[in-house]
Structure 1
Amino acid sequence: MKSFSPRKAALAVVAAFSLAACQTPAKKPEAPVNSAATAKAQAQPAERALGDGLYEMAWTPKALYVASAQSFKNVNGGILYRLDPATLATTGETHTDLKNFGMAVEPDGSVFYTTNSLDGTISKVDAESGKVLKRLAFSEKGKDGSPYGAREIFWHEGKLYVGGVGDPGVIWVVDAKTLKLSKTIRNAGKWVTGIIYSPVTDRLYAANGGGEVLVINPRTQKIEKRWTAGDGKAYLLLNLAEDPATGRLFVTDNSKAKTTLVFDERSGKVIKRIEGDALGIKFNAKRNELYISQRESRKVLQLDATSYAVKNSWSFDSSPNSLLVSPDGQTLYVTLKQDFNKDDSTKGKDSVVRIALK
Structure 2
Amino acid sequence: MYVPTRMGCCVALAVAMALALPAVAQPPEFLSTAQVAPALIRTDSISGAYEVVHWGEAGLIFVASVPSFDKGSAGFIQVLDAATLAPIRQIQLPRRPFALALDRGTGRLYAGNTLDGSLTVIDARGGQVIDTIQLGQPEDEGVEHTRMIALDEARGLAFVTSPGRQGVVWIVDTRAGRLLHRIEGGLWTAGAAYDPAGRFYASGGGTEEISVIDASGQRIGALSTGDTTGTGEDDSRHFFVNLAIDTVGQRLFAADAETGTLHVFDIASGRSVAQVPTGPGTLDVAYNPARGEIYVSWRGVTRDEKAGTGGLTVIDAGDYSVKQRLSLPAHPNSLEVSADGRTLFVTVKAPHDKDHPDYRAGGLDSVLRLDLARLAAAN
- Taking structure 2 as the reference length, the TM-score comes to 0.80
Task: Give the count of matched residue pairs.
Answer: 332
1:132 alignment partner, one of 126, 129, 132: 129
Alignment partners' CA distance in 1, 2:287 and 2:41: 21
Alignment partners' CA distance in 2, 1:73 and 1:204: 33
Alignment partners' CA distance in 1, 2:237 and 2:276: 16
**Contact map agreement 2:118 2:136 (CA 8 A) in 1:** no
Shift in CA distance, 286/272, structure 1 to aligned 2, threshold 3 Å = same
Q: Which residue of 1 aligns with 2:218?
A: 222
Q: Which residue of 2 aligns with 1:21?
A: none
2:368 alignment partner, one of 341, 353, 358: 353
Deviation string 1:143-165 (CA, Å, 9 cap, x unpaired) is: x1410111101111211111123
- Taking structure 1 as the reference length, the TM-score comes to 0.85
Shift in CA distance, 41/226, structure 1 to aligned 2, threshold 3 Å = closer
**Contact map agreement 2:223 2:267 (CA 8 A) in 1:** no
Shift in CA distance, 2/324, structure 1 to aligned 2, threshold 3 Å = closer
Deviation string 1:54-89 (CA, Å, 9 cap, x unpaired) is: 111122222110011113358812110000000001
Deviation string 1:224-273 (CA, Å, 9 cap, x unpaired) is: 2222211236111111112233222110112x222111111011011111
Deviation string 1:89-108 (CA, Å, 9 cap, x unpaired) is: 11010112211111111132
Alignment partners' CA distance in 2, 1:284 and 1:109: 24
- 4+ residue stretches of structure 1 with deviation over 3 A? 1-4, 12-17
**Contact map agreement 1:291 1:302 (CA 8 A) in 2:** yes
1:284 equivalent in alignment to 2:281: no
Q: Which moved more, 1:66-75 or 1:119-128?
A: 66-75
Segments of structure 2 that go 5 or more residues without pairing to the other structure are 18-26, 229-235, 301-308, 374-379
Alignment partners' CA distance in 2, 1:315 and 1:308: 20
Q: Which residue of 1 aligns with 2:305?
A: none
Q: Which residue of 2 aligns with 1:54?
A: 49
Identity among equivalent pairs (%):
32
Q: Which residue of 1 aligns with 2:330?
A: 318
**Contact map agreement 2:343 2:370 (CA 8 A) in 1:** yes
Q: Which residue of 2 aligns with 1:247?
A: 250
Taking only aligned residues, the RMSD between alpha carbons, in angstroms, comes to 2.8
Q: Which moved more, 1:318-327 or 1:228-237?
A: 228-237
Alignment partners' CA distance in 2, 1:174 and 1:13: 27
Alignment partners' CA distance in 2, 1:354 and 1:257: 28
Deviation at 1:295, TM superposition (A): 1.1
User: Counterparts in 2 of 1:1-358, with a 5 A limit?
Assistant: 9-12=9-12, 33=28, 43-60=38-55, 61-62=57-58, 63-72=60-69, 76-108=73-105, 110-142=107-139, 144-156=140-152, 157-187=155-185, 189-199=186-196, 202-210=198-206, 212-218=209-215, 220-232=216-228, 234-254=237-257, 256-277=258-279, 278-296=282-300, 298-341=310-353, 347=361, 348-358=363-373
Alignment partners' CA distance in 2, 1:191 and 1:181: 21
Q: For residue 283 of structure 1, what is the amino acid of its counterpart?
A: Y
Alignment partners' CA distance in 2, 1:167 and 1:231: 19
Alignment partners' CA distance in 2, 1:339 and 1:248: 34
Shift in CA distance, 177/299, structure 1 to aligned 2, threshold 3 Å = same
**Contact map agreement 1:113 1:125 (CA 8 A) in 2:** yes
Q: For residue 183 of structure 2, what is the amino acid of its counterpart?
A: I
Alignment partners' CA distance in 2, 1:139 and 1:74: 17
Q: For residue 293 of structure 2, what is the amino acid of its counterpart?
A: E
Deviation string 1:21-50 (CA, Å, 9 cap, x unpaired) is: xxxxxxxxxxx8189xxxx98833111112
Deviation at 1:11, TM superposition (A): 1.2
Alignment partners' CA distance in 2, 1:165 and 1:41: 35
**Contact map agreement 1:56 1:335 (CA 8 A) in 2:** yes
Alignment partners' CA distance in 2, 1:15 and 1:151: 17
Shift in CA distance, 14/330, structure 1 to aligned 2, threshold 3 Å = farther
